[in-house]
Structure 1
Amino acid sequence: MNYPHSEIRSDTPTTVSGESLSTVEWGEQRSLPWRWIILGIIIVGALVATWMLLSSGSGTAVPAADNEEQAPRITVIAPGRGTIEGAINATGTLAARREMPVGVVGEGGRVVSVPVEQGQWVRAGQVLASIDRSVQNQQASAQRAQIEVAKSDASLAQANLDRALQLVERGFISKAEIDRLTATRDAARARVNVAEAQYNELLARNARLNIVAPASGLLLERNVEPGATVSAGSGVLFRIAKGGEMELLAQVGETDLAKLTSGVSATVTPAGTTKAFSGQIWQLEPTIDQQTRQGTARVALPYAPELRPGGFATATISSGTLVAPMLPESAILSDDKGSFVYIVDKENKVRRRGVKTGLVTREGIAVTDGLDGSEKVVLRAGGFLTEGETISPQLEGGDKAQTAAKTQSKG
């Protein structure tokens, strides 16, 4: 039966099991199911929180199978074995490989011309500077005249001897006179030879007044100007790099120097530029500096405008190859017992392994002893682990790295 809405009253007593309830008692009875629902939600939340707490801890209530899953995740690496190119970094000064100092070789004099500039290429025999020779030219002219006089005397002596030989057959001249005239003729001829030799000497002296290049090359220094008076004691006037060849005087520690030999390749980068030049060691100096404990490796370089003698440069010198595992620096630890790494065994427990290191490259450090490359090595966080601790190893690079490591270890 339908009743009008206005006739329903909220304070109307309700009968339950034959007993009437007041308005308040009726309201409390209606809210009772919601209290049970809320209480149930709280209990369920508490149970979930307790389970999460137990699963993240190390309580005895967690099954042994779950302990491995809850061990700390540590990144490991399987290094394998590879060919490592060794390199030694060194610094040094650029210089001419064969530097030729040029000075005055004659008696010197006043410089009248210098037709070359530093940085210019010169050829063997090219005049670098000329010295005034006006006096020497006059001396040469006078000596040439002496040659003509000596030749005239020799001609006269020869004529006298020829006439005497015609008269000796008739008995007008004695044999002794013939001998005297012959000696006179021979002396005149000798004086001609002396005069010519003196003349040639003057010409040679005059030629030495020109300062010339002893060989072809690059002119590095010019230390004279026209008008200067020079002599044999004037010092070096020019410096030439023979053939333009350069070198780097690389300073290398005595330990690394023992690893090098002549013919080893090197890459040289001059200061102030990123351009690299290829060269090779052509000489290892036989001495070690007692103060720095370094030796000099001389790296031959071809001519290039960027290679300026006296400049600073760095070199990367090849020191051979090595087949060994390569590890990042973070994987190698050290203590008073030496260098070591942490490896992971079949039970996922951390084990200490002593190692010996070798070449250091940009890719890492070579391990020459202690590893064969198939081990799982802790990559990082080794300082926070203890030997025998159980971890959850995660191979760096994921599944692809693990597959590659297995393939490499089989090979």
Structure 2
Amino acid sequence: MNYTSKLDKDRAEVVSKGDLGAEAGADGTFEAQTPAQGPEKGSSRLIWLGVAGAFVLIVGIWFYLHSGADTGPVEPAQVPVVTVVKPGRSTVVGTITATGSLAARRAMPIGSVGEGGEVRRVLVEPGDWVKAGQVLAVVDSSVQVQQQASQAAQIKAAQADARLAQSNLDRALQLVDRGFISKADVDRLTATRDAALAQVELARASLRQLQAQAARLNIVAPAAGLVLERNVEPGQVVGGGSSVLFRLAKGGEMELLANLSEDDLARVRVGAQAEVTPVGSERSFTGQVWQVSPVIDPTSRQGTARIALAYDRALRPGGFASATLTSGTVVAPMLPESAIQSDAEGSFVYVVGKDNKVARRGVETGLVTADGIVISKGLAGTETVVLRAGGFLNPEDTVEPRMAKAAD
């Protein structure tokens, strides 16, 4: 019994020393390791190294298998398909757009041409249509009426004197043969008779003058047309050479003063047709260029084309309007805007040759219409031109051309 207890005691001491050694190692003063700790760490490291190696091997095999699938022959690059057109040659009516102001073609200022006087009545308003000679305003003529009455009385007095002179002459002629009156007396009586007749004519002429002056008192229209302005009121006193009392558009004719650049003005000819649309109106009015300005404004570098328009109440002088003028016709190729490219060297198109390779072709553009742009230089019209996607092409590129359909 004592032997067994001693062995147990010795074993306990050994175990106790081992624990103390482990704790000392934890304190950093000395290192002691139980026999079981070393083998556990080594086996753990081996396991992790094996897992990493297997992962690397699997990844390598995967890349090898997939890279081998791409080692076949390289397919050639796909040729782009482009839409092309043959422009041909079209007859294009050249047009020029312009803006300007409406005005009376022949504006007639009207004032007082007589002695003047007080305005009694105004008979017309702006917008009225008048005839030639129609009275626009009535001027007081009471003074002139009295003058005419006085002159009419003078005519009667002159006529009485003339009759008396004629009677005296007739009696003298009856007595001259008897020798009671000399030839000289007859001549004197004849002269008196002639002077009396002349006084009658003079009085009549004076009356006609007064009548004419009275007729000129009223303000009348010198021609048929449209009244544009009225600048007089009843009670106003007007005189000869006074300011403008009325303004009339002769014949009601209007015009558009279209402002054009130097280049456009050079293309416009007298007689060219034009469509004029006033601002705020959906109606268009057909007119004709009747005058092209011979001078250019040095400040704006513009000139004026005057477009005559027939009378219509919708055409109001002073209003703003736009116009489309014809500038002749031209026969040339025409392309949509999408076919024309431009860069620092200018405008160009891509032409597809017989070998389906594209080539750059410089062009000059002309008139711009709703159907396309006229090519004034660079194309004959028989070429095959790339319609779209020209911006993605380069010279010498090979393409597969497909002719555009009518809907394109």
**What TM-score comes out, normalization by structure 1 length?**
0.80
Q: Tell me what 1:210 maps to.
A: 218
Q: How does 1:213-292 map to 2 (within 5 A)?
A: 213-292=221-300
Q: How does 1:66-77 map to 2 (within 5 A)?
A: 67=77, 70-77=78-85
CA–CA distance in structure 1, aligned partners of residues 67 and 384 of structure 2? 40
Q: How does 1:47-58 map to 2 (within 5 A)?
A: 50=70
**1:341 pairs with 2:354:** no
CA–CA distance in structure 1, aligned partners of residues 133 and 284 of structure 2? 34
- State the Cα distance separating 1:262 from its structure 2 match: 1.5
Q: Tell me what 1:168 maps to.
A: 176
Q: Deviations over 1:176-209 (max 9, x none)?
A: 1111111111111111111111111100000001
CA–CA distance in structure 2, aligned partners of residues 175 and 158 of structure 1? 16
Cα 1:119/1:48, change in 2 over 3 Å: farther
Letter in 2 for 1:129: A
Q: Is the 8 A contact 2:113 2:241 kept in 1?
A: no
SS of the counterpart of 2:185?
helix
**1:332 pairs with 2:346:** no
Q: Deviations over 1:238-257 (max 9, x none)?
A: 11111111111111112112
Q: Tell me what 2:92 maps to.
A: 84
- State the Cα distance separating 1:175 from its structure 2 match: 0.8
Q: Tell me which of 295, 309, 332 is aligned to 2:317.
A: 309
Cα 1:191/1:389, change in 2 over 3 Å: same
CA–CA distance in structure 1, aligned partners of residues 367 and 271 of structure 2? 20
Q: Tell me what 2:38 maps to.
A: none
**1:111 pairs with 2:119:** yes
Cα 1:324/1:46, change in 2 over 3 Å: farther
Q: Tell me what 2:74 maps to.
A: 61
Q: Tell me what 1:28 maps to.
A: none
Q: Tell me what 1:371 maps to.
A: 379
SS of the counterpart of 2:267?
coil
Aligned length: 346
Q: Deviations over 1:121-145 (max 9, x none)?
A: 1111111000111111111100110
SS of the counterpart of 2:190?
helix
Structure 1 regions of 5+ residues with no counterpart? 1-41, 55-59, 403-411
CA–CA distance in structure 1, aligned partners of residues 296 and 218 of structure 2? 42
Cα 1:129/1:369, change in 2 over 3 Å: same
Identity %: 61
CA–CA distance in structure 2, aligned partners of residues 50 and 326 of structure 1? 49
SS of the counterpart of 1:375?
coil
CA–CA distance in structure 2, aligned partners of residues 306 and 316 of structure 1? 18
Q: Tell me what 2:186 maps to.
A: 178
Cα 1:50/1:280, change in 2 over 3 Å: farther
Letter in 1 for 2:207: Y
CA–CA distance in structure 2, aligned partners of residues 254 and 225 of structure 1? 46
CA–CA distance in structure 2, aligned partners of residues 129 and 88 of structure 1? 45
Q: Tell me what 1:12 maps to.
A: none
Q: Deviations over 1:257-284 (max 9, x none)?
A: 2222111111000001121111111121
- State the Cα distance separating 1:78 from its structure 2 match: 2.1
Q: How does 1:186-205 map to 2 (within 5 A)?
A: 186-205=194-213
**1:101 pairs with 2:109:** yes
Cα 1:46/1:348, change in 2 over 3 Å: farther
- State the Cα distance separating 1:47 from its structure 2 match: 9.4
Q: Is the 8 A contact 1:395 1:401 kept in 2?
A: no
CA–CA distance in structure 1, aligned partners of residues 68 and 225 of structure 2? 89
Letter in 1 for 2:74: A
Q: Deviations over 1:26-68 (max 9, x none)?
A: xxxxxxxxxxxxxxxx99x9699849xx8xxxxx732xxx54x
- State the Cα distance separating 1:368 from its structure 2 match: 1.5
CA–CA distance in structure 2, aligned partners of residues 349 and 79 of structure 1? 18
- State the Cα distance separating 1:341 from its structure 2 match: 1.2
CA–CA distance in structure 2, aligned partners of residues 330 and 265 of structure 1? 31
**What TM-score comes out, normalization by structure 2 length?**
0.80
* CA-based RMSD: 2.2
CA–CA distance in structure 2, aligned partners of residues 306 and 377 of structure 1? 47
CA–CA distance in structure 1, aligned partners of residues 157 and 100 of structure 2? 65
CA–CA distance in structure 1, aligned partners of residues 183 and 319 of structure 2? 82
Cα 1:48/1:74, change in 2 over 3 Å: farther
SS of the counterpart of 1:258?
helix
Cα 1:359/1:133, change in 2 over 3 Å: same
Letter in 1 for 2:89: R
